[in-house]
Amino acid sequence: SQKIEQNSEALNIQEGKTATLTCNYTNYSPAYLQWYRQDPGRGPVFLLLIRENEKEKRKERLKVTFDTTLKQSLFHITASQPADSATYLCASMTGGYNKLIFGAGTRLAVHP
């Protein structure tokens, strides 16, 4: 079955460092991947979408890559701040519909 996995349940880093989160997919080839941020008790907020023919996408301090050979997407936050502390979810569409399946999420904690 189609699976999308985020291997790290939690990631702790020091303020100012770069956070790198990993998303792997198996048994399918998504046309694009999405990344969302979720704060406790709130709905996810869309951050970035990357298509399979794009190697890299950037938005301010955020960068996402898509490696179809490794079946992996990496999400980077540069110059991290305590306000970046949240759960980050990788998601992809299955089939032709916008039926998003989410990875389990990585809980990022940025310490001052």
Partner 1 sequence: DTEVTQTPKHLVMGMTNKKSLKCEQHMGHRAMYWYKQKAKKPPELMFVYSYEKLSINESVPSRFSPECPNSSLLNLHLHALQPEDSALYLCASSEVDWGPYEQYFGPGTRLTVT
Q: Binding residues for partner 1, per CB under 8 A?
A: 31-32, 34, 36, 41-46, 49, 51, 89, 96-105
Return the number of the residue (80 or 87) whose C-beta is nearest partner 1. 87
Q: Are 29 and 51 in contact (CB under 8 A)?
A: no
Sequence-separated contacts (24+) of 63-70 with Cβ below 8 Å: 64/33, 64/35, 66/32, 66/33, 68/29, 70/24
Minimum Å gap between C-beta 83 and partner 1 is 19
Question: How many whole angstroms separate alpha carbon 96 and alpha carbon 24?
Answer: 20
Minimum Å gap between C-beta 23 and partner 1 is 12
> Considering beta carbons, is residue 33 or 77 the nearer one to partner 1?
33
Q: Is the CB of 33 or the CB of 110 nearer to partner 1?
A: 33
Nearer to partner 1, 103 or 110 (CB): 103
Give least dist CB 66 to partner 1, A.
Answer: 12
Q: How far lies 34's CA from each of 4, 25, 53, 90, in Å?
A: 12, 12, 14, 6
